[in-house]
Structure 1
Amino acid sequence: MGRRGPLGRSGRGVAVLLAGALAVVGAACTSQRTATPGVGGKADGRTRIGLVTKTDSNPFFVALREAAKARAAADGAELVALAGKFDGDNDGQVAALENLVQQGVDAILVTPNNSSGILGAIRHARDRGILVVALDTETSPRDAVDATFATDNVEAGRSQGRYVRAALAERDPRLLMLDGTPGGTVDEQRHRGFLDGFGLGENDPRVLGRQPTNGDQSRAQQAMENLLQRANGVNAVYTLNEPAARGAHSALQARGVAGQVVVGSVDGGCQGVRDVREGRYAVTVMQFPRRMAEEGVRAAVEFTRTGTRPSGFVDTGSAVVTDRPVPGVDSRDTAWALANCWG
């Protein structure tokens, strides 16, 4: 997997934040807007881009939104940012998409909560000539949108799995898995990738248990406590994301076995990198939400100015982060990661 250098943290230009929240159909989502005069596809000289994230509070989506704002400002575009009220709020995202269509945006960037649940709203937008680009999470099918800029989540899971298996060395695996939201595309991809990288099948008896956590720290801690009551000798833990990894660590620490278990994760938020540095878990796989947002905005602006549509899946990269490197797994240390993390 290729490695990228340090990322730019903001675009150049002047952003004017409009005060107040934008009313959304049924009050199902929240919004923010930034506008900068410039050239674009509208009569007022501005390209108008809608952004719909899963939530507006998760640090990953905050970083993505802020990067999109900065890139839009630098490119003389207007950004209208909406979000579901919680992770999994498919209805809120549908309402947000419909709202943006009514506003007459040129392009929509969306991080789908449900990869098939918003297909009707996406189809309606595209039928109106609006460019629709997925960020972070693919739609199902992929070609429901014009293009996708995202982490290859199967490969991110695979990288976590390779590391955790190598870190066990000669120990026979006894694995627990803290998954995300049942049916979620990212959740399924990371889970599948981890098992492939780790070298176990779905029904291998060395997988001692698995529970959903919705990527939430408190739920993950409870799930791990429940699993530990039924499983002995655990030495490896897969987690969907870093909040789940923190929950797993708390449960393992309470049992007095944290030092005996290799815990892996995916995200690359600054708190997660600090967790790895401080030994709460062994490894995380960093994603680059800023890169997703910047590439999506650039594609939207290019579309409105030249009519060129992006297409296909673009992997925005990932990097294994650990201070305990293992043979056969390329990795970066936490000093590098703290210079490139988000949140």
Structure 2
Amino acid sequence: MTLAPQPYLNTRVSAMSERLLTSDQIAALCELSLPDLAERFGLEALLDEQLDRRTKSRAVKQALINTLLDELRVLIRPMNATEAGLVLAWGRKYALFNLKTLLRGQLYELDQSEISANLYELPAHVRLPQQELFRAEGVLELLRKLEQGPYSLIARQGREVFEQKREPFALEAALDQRYYGEMVRRLLQVSNQDGNELKQLLGAVLDRVGLLWLLRFRFSYGLSPSETYYQLVPSVRLLHRDRLLRLVNLETFDEILAALPEPLTSRLAGSTSLMEVQRRLGGHVTDEARRTLANGQSGVARALAYLILREHGVLALFSIVQGQLLGLPRELIEIAVEVSEPNCPADSLADAA
């Protein structure tokens, strides 16, 4: 399909959008019991008394990720190769999670059964060749095995960085950087209306990632401006290369927030911690996705907006389930899924994804 506005894809996205959860619906889910949640969302593992808490949690997250990736596969069917490649690049974050698990297993010499227990079972369109990677002897061999196929750029950059530095942190940062860099590369191959709307949407995603990484690396990890700048991925929207270079050389958290362009300045005004910035930026991305879904003309951009919002919803559902499995009070669960405001100061050194 190459003709805008891609009527079939737009119709499919509109129909699937009925599955999205609103804030009010997420709040209502916080009041349901685990059996009620299991029945409503088909999460049979929650009702299996033979499974321990950790196994139930893992099974639920696996089921929700499978739902998301199955919907991704449906949505890319009518897209051309360039468009599908971009949306697939977004969905490969879950393979990246598996890759990091395999690498940590090699780095810390973990038992294969322990590694396997922490891997997601992914569909073929985003799957790693895990059995082959299991047979690798060391991090470098594992990455070399991955250099054939769709993950070649990520694997090559990770291997080159690890050969130079031999640091787990540098390796994972390089993998994350290449993941977002690959999305930018594919985005720039899309033209016309699709490209413009996708730049607005993915630009908001990249702005969020860039600012969180900048603040985390500078103030949580204590990296120098030059070391921090080297780790960043310039956005195609607000936090482009020149602006990141100016921001990274500022000395304080507050100075960086004050120097941001609109609408980020207004959105983050009064933020006192990295955790609060993360929460507000997450709202900025979901607002942009809702705007694209409601008003966009590009079927591809609307499909990606749907997937971003769908992921937000299924992760909120998982947080509700996880909170109940851990016996947390409802007030904390509501804060975790952002339907209630936290009433205590957030840790300014909190990790941000």
Quick check: TM above 0.5?
Answer: no
**Bigger strand fraction:** 1
Q: TM-score, normalised by structure 2?
A: 0.29
Q: TM-score, normalised by structure 1?
A: 0.29
**Bigger helix fraction:** 2
More RCO (CA 8 Å, sep 6+): 2
